[in-house]
Amino acid sequence: MTTAATTHRTAFHYDVAVLGLGYVGIPLAVGFAEAGCRTLGFDVDPKRVAELHSGISPLTTVPSQRIASVVTRELLFFTTDKADLSRSEAIIICVPTPLRTHLDPDIGFILDAGREIAPYLRPGMLVSLESSTYPGTTRQDLCKVLEEGSGLKAGVDFCLSFSPEREDPGNPKSQLSDMPKVVGGITPECLKRAVALYSKAVKRVIPVSSCDTAEAVKLTENIFRFINIALVNELKRIYTAMGIDIWEVIDAAKTKPFGFMPFYPGVGVGGHCIPIDPYYLTWKAREYNVDTRFIQLAGQINRGMPYYAVSRLVDALNTEGKSVQGSHILILGVAYKPDIPDDRESPSYEVMDLLRDKGAVVDYHDPNIPVITAHGGGREWGDKTSIALNAETLRGIDAAIVCTAHRGVDYGFLADHLPLVIDACNVVPKDAKARVIPA
């Protein structure tokens, strides 16, 4: 990095700016501020910025008082004004990376963020991407829009790095400072700058040889999970047909002190990472003429699980002389995993879609998602509200499917007040009055 660039650093007002204040950006900005860094949070959503500015957290995982505390101490500031970005020594990008309809990556948010930053990029700055994406995004795609829009050269005038976000929503152990941070830079100097930045807020920073490698680390972690979940989902179908309880098998298998790691079956995979990230790699691999059969197969299995859950219900109703058509079905849990209020890409909605298409009357209960919003994962279920669980509301319901098992839901009570429960989460007591079918 040039001497001129180093001189510029003293003129910056903020140590770091976080662009994109969502599930990833908010804890990151708060974590930097708590570490004593003057931090700026930037988002295009004025409503989001206004609520954060008032010290109100939109996330249950980051309590409002943590935000209010750093805002009051003037360590964390929020803005919708792009020009403010020019006053930060480093900018971290945390924008969404969704899939298009045909499972192709959409890095449009990253490119937009790059175009937003470019006019305000100043010599000496560091830009670090944290959004999960395919190898090459930082070095090629983001670099291009930053250089074109700023007239500056990456690795010469400004630094560029990639560091994957590894947050585990709902897990209290997943704090920024405790989660080892993998970092790659487009030059050794960029890497040095990025390591120095993250070391201010994170106890352990792991440098890797390039941005491409750091991007591949994130995809590898999530593909590992995606494939192992597919494996237990397949095993569940096999063992269920054999009358063997998959949950008992996993519980016993995990007593092996090495070589086995427990993963659990369900009605599919959800969230903004696991069902999406693998397809970023399968798409990029096509450019290199490499097949990705293992990942594709895991995807087929995971995407088939809502159909399996519904088929278990169809068979169970059938033995009682009933059809799905006209039955009243209750879905337990629309969040994509237990104890969080995030329903993005939740497979519960796929189950609900399938049941509705077969003519069922569908209701749901989820203490963490009182109302389904189009912003979440509910698409066509927007504005539907969670029903209360009591003897009155359960009367007339023909069956329930437990898709996501949140703490605090009384599954024993549920199963004592319903004729049939399809349990994909192994939470319904075995001695319940209802007929309980594993799924």
Ligand X SMILES: NC(=O)c1ccc[n+]([C@@H]2O[C@H](COP(=O)([O-])OP(=O)(O)OC[C@H]3O[C@@H](n4cnc5c(N)ncnc54)[C@H](O)[C@@H]3O)[C@@H](O)[C@H]2O)c1
Q: Which residues are catalytic?
A: 273
- Give the position of tokens 């920073």: 205
Token pair, residue 425, equals: 């989460």
Least separation in angstroms between residue 414's CB and ligand X is: 29
User: Do 273 and 267 form a contact (C-beta atoms < 8 A)?
Assistant: no
29 closest CA partner among 46, 51, 14, 13: 14
* Interaction of residue 75 with ligand X, rule CB under 6 A: no
> Cα angle at 235 between 309 and 226, to 5 degrees?
80
User: Cβ contacts of residue 439 below 8 Å, gap of 6+?
Assistant: 240, 267, 308, 309, 312, 313, 401, 422, 423, 424
Among 5, 16, 18, 21, binds ligand X (CB under 6 A): 21
Tell me which stretch binds ligand X (CB under 6 A): 19-27, 223-231, 330-338, 387-395.
19-27
User: Cβ contacts of residue 248 below 8 Å, gap of 6+?
Assistant: none
* Interaction of residue 121 with ligand X, rule CB under 6 A: no
Q: Which residues pair with 437 in a beta bridge?
A: 422
Cβ-based nearer residue to ligand X, 103 or 249? 103
* Interaction of residue 194 with ligand X, rule CB under 6 A: no
Least separation in angstroms between residue 285's CB and ligand X is: 19
Cβ-based nearer residue to ligand X, 24 or 35? 24
Cβ-based nearer residue to ligand X, 16 or 437? 16
* Interaction of residue 350 with ligand X, rule CB under 6 A: no
* Interaction of residue 367 with ligand X, rule CB under 6 A: no
Phi, psi dihedral angles at 253 (to 5 degrees): -65, -35
Residue nearest to ligand X (CB): 22
Task: Give the total of residues touching ligand X (CB under 6 A).
Answer: 27
Tell me which stretch binds ligand X (CB under 6 A): 90-98, 256-264, 299-307, 405-413.
90-98
Among 127, 273, 309, 355, binds ligand X (CB under 6 A): 273
Cβ-based nearer residue to ligand X, 80 or 393? 80
The amino acid at residue 248 is E
Least separation in angstroms between residue 164's CB and ligand X is: 7
User: Do 406 and 348 form a contact (C-beta atoms < 8 A)?
Assistant: no
Q: Are strands 435-438 and 399-402 parallel, antiparallel or unpaired?
A: unpaired
* Interaction of residue 280 with ligand X, rule CB under 6 A: no
Tell me which stretch binds ligand X (CB under 6 A): 106-114, 138-146, 179-187, 189-197.
106-114
Q: Roughly how many angstroms between the first and final C-alpha of the chain, as a whole number?
A: 58
Question: What string of DSSP letters covers 306-366?
Answer: HHHHHHHHHHHHHHTT--STT-EEEEE--SSSTT----TT-HHHHHHHHHHHTT-EEEEE-
* Interaction of residue 337 with ligand X, rule CB under 6 A: no
Coil, strand or helix at 231: helix
Among 48, 237, 312, 406, binds ligand X (CB under 6 A): 48
The amino acid at residue 367 is P
- Give the position of tokens 């980051």: 62
Rounded CA-CA distance 377/342 in Å is 8
* Interaction of residue 96 with ligand X, rule CB under 6 A: yes
Least separation in angstroms between residue 323's CB and ligand X is: 39
Least separation in angstroms between residue 120's CB and ligand X is: 12
The helix/strand count (H/E) of the chain reads as 14, 13
Tell me which stretch binds ligand X (CB under 6 A): 42-50, 186-194, 260-268, 384-392.
42-50
Among 18, 19, 246, 427, binds ligand X (CB under 6 A): 19
* Interaction of residue 306 with ligand X, rule CB under 6 A: no
Least separation in angstroms between residue 167's CB and ligand X is: 5
Least separation in angstroms between residue 232's CB and ligand X is: 21
Cβ-based nearer residue to ligand X, 5 or 194? 194
* Interaction of residue 274 with ligand X, rule CB under 6 A: no
Rounded CA-CA distance 386/363 in Å is 7
Least separation in angstroms between residue 93's CB and ligand X is: 8
Distance of CA 142 to the CA centre of its chain: 22
Which residues here bind ligand X, judged by CB under 6 A?
19-25, 42-45, 48, 94-97, 109, 112-113, 116, 131-132, 165, 167, 169, 272-273
